[in-house]
Amino acid sequence: MLNILILAAGKGTRMHSDLPKVLHPVAGKPMLAHVIETAKQLSPSKILVVYGFGGDAVPDQFRHENIHWVQQAEQLGTGHAVMQALPFLDPEAKTLIMLGDVPLISVQTCQELLKNQAKLTLLTFAKANPSGYGRIVRNAQDEVVAIVEHKDASEEQRQINEINTGIMAVDNHALSEWLKNLGNDNAQGEYYLTDIVGMASQQGIAVGGVLAANEPEITGINSKSDLASIERCYQQQQAAQLLQQGVTLSDPARIDIRGKLSVGRDVHIDVGCVFEGEVHLADGVRIGPYCVIRNASIGVGTAIAAFTHIDDAEIGKQAKIGPYARLRPGTVLQDETHVGNFVELKNAQVDVGSKINHLSYVGDTTVGKQVNIGAGTITCNYDGVNKFRTVIGDNAFIGSDSQLIAPVTIGAGATIGAGSTISKDAPAGELTVARGRQVTVSGWKRPEKIKK
């Protein structure tokens, strides 16, 4: 049986922020969320989180998670934090103690730690420059016998480059006994969890040590500088995965993924793009520079030009979007649609082959097939209190600088003369002009292209 205990009570003084440290975001979500996600993948019988600074702000962020929250009203050290959680741990279980400010710890590393059969196993790391860190002292049998702080280490011990990460797996029966004897007779007056290593050694109990392979996995965040560094590490990992999947990145150092990005074959992503939430890019999608895409699905062969913002939208195959387009929630574009520069769509459904290429706002609108909406057209969907819908039929042509005052329907094949303000339904197949007054020209025929 496995319990997981995440220590997340610290204030993070060096963050210089009123926000609890573990709520500062890494890749768009609280660093604690990353630790919780890793914990869940280990399939524990329960997850406990010790919180403190910020009061209920931390548990409120995760109220939908199945987590047992334990408050540490006074932050008196890591040992004290574990003491608060001890009554809620299963006596027969092993507990993996994780840190809420170490967001990049991997499932694989945790599994390696849990494989060790010792009653107490520490996750350690061989650091090139261990100055300032507690050293791991091992005996001839390669068992951990002590953690010696840098200031207390001898010259010989200071040559050791294996350091303590603070992450450990411990048998709950043994943990309970060790915590009873934990003291705070030190300069800080705090209870240090690491003191249990010495207790185990004195009792002749072997202490295991598992070396972590990658430094970012065990790096804690204590400052905004640390936060920025870990953010870059995370993004580099994401970029490396995309490259392995065959994505072409113009510059792997200039991409931000703040959620889940899934990709097909032959996808190209230019510099400065940000992906948030769940985004899917199908085969052959090309994303231009400096686009922001959130919770979107983009179909095969679609091209998104520079500086386009897409939020909670669906785009079909072979579409052309941007530059400087904005697709807001509820937008659905079918295949071969065109949405051009400085066009904003909101809750608009646009059918196959339709074009809205310049300087338009189309909101709460159903657009049929092969419709052309001219530059400067807007759908006036809001009367100051309520929203209303515009319907534009197949093959309609909306002249430039038109206003369609909802609720209104433009019939199939209708033409709206440029500069018209349409407040009544426009009949199918006719030219409707409303410049001062609305006139329908019966029998009017749309001009045909002159063959050369």
Known binder of ligand: residue 426?
Answer: no
Q: How far apart are the C-alpha atoms of 123 and 438, rounded to whole Å?
A: 77
Known binder of ligand: residue 232?
Answer: no
Known binder of ligand: residue 372?
Answer: yes
Query: DSSP 3-state assignment of 434?
Result: strand
Known binder of ligand: residue 215?
Answer: no
Known binder of ligand: residue 346?
Answer: yes
Known binder of ligand: residue 78?
Answer: yes
Known binder of ligand: residue 134?
Answer: yes
In the numeric block, the tokens 């207790």 are attached to 199
Query: Nearest 5°: CA angle at 378, between 377 and 383?
Result: 155
Known binder of ligand: residue 290?
Answer: no
Nearest to residue 273, comparing CAs of 315, 309, 228, 300? 309
Known binder of ligand: residue 181?
Answer: no
Nearest to residue 359, comparing CAs of 380, 343, 345? 343
Q: How far apart are the C-alpha atoms of 45 and 345, rounded to whole Å?
A: 47
In the numeric block, the tokens 């990658």 are attached to 214
Please report the sign of the dihedral spanned by the C-alpha atoms of residue 84, residue 87, residue 91, residue 96.
negative
- Retrieve residue 28's tokens: 């768009």
Q: How far apart are the C-alpha atoms of 84 and 72, rounded to whole Å?
A: 7
Known binder of ligand: residue 375?
Answer: yes
| Ramachandran bin of 310, using left for φ above 0, alpha for ψ from -120 to 50, beta for the remaining angles | beta
Known binder of ligand: residue 37?
Answer: no
Nearest to residue 415, comparing CAs of 393, 448, 389, 435? 393
Known binder of ligand: residue 39?
Answer: no
Half-sphere exposure for 52 (CA within 13 Å, toward CB): 21
Q: Are strands 162-171 and 120-126 parallel, antiparallel or unpaired?
A: antiparallel
Known binder of ligand: residue 99?
Answer: no
Taking each helix axis from N to C end, the angle separating 78-85 and 172-180, rounded to the nearest 10 degrees, works out to 120
Known binder of ligand: residue 361?
Answer: yes
Known binder of ligand: residue 382?
Answer: yes
Phi (first) and psi of residue 450, to 5 degrees = -80, 125
Known binder of ligand: residue 435?
Answer: yes
Residue type present at position 190: E
Known binder of ligand: residue 317?
Answer: no
Catalytic hit among 150, 268, 280, 358: 358
Known binder of ligand: residue 227?
Answer: no
Q: Is residue 64 flagged as an active site residue?
A: no
Residues tagged in the binding site annotation for UDP-N-acetyl-alpha-D-glucosamine: 7-10, 21, 72, 77-78, 134, 149, 164, 222, 328, 346, 361, 372
Residues tagged in the binding site annotation for acetyl-CoA: 375, 381-382, 400, 418, 435
Residues tagged in the binding site annotation: 7-10, 21, 72, 77-78, 101, 134, 149, 164, 222, 328, 346, 361, 372, 375, 381-382, 400, 418, 435
Residues tagged in the binding site annotation for Mg(2+): 101, 222
- Residues annotated as catalytic (active site), given as ranges: 358
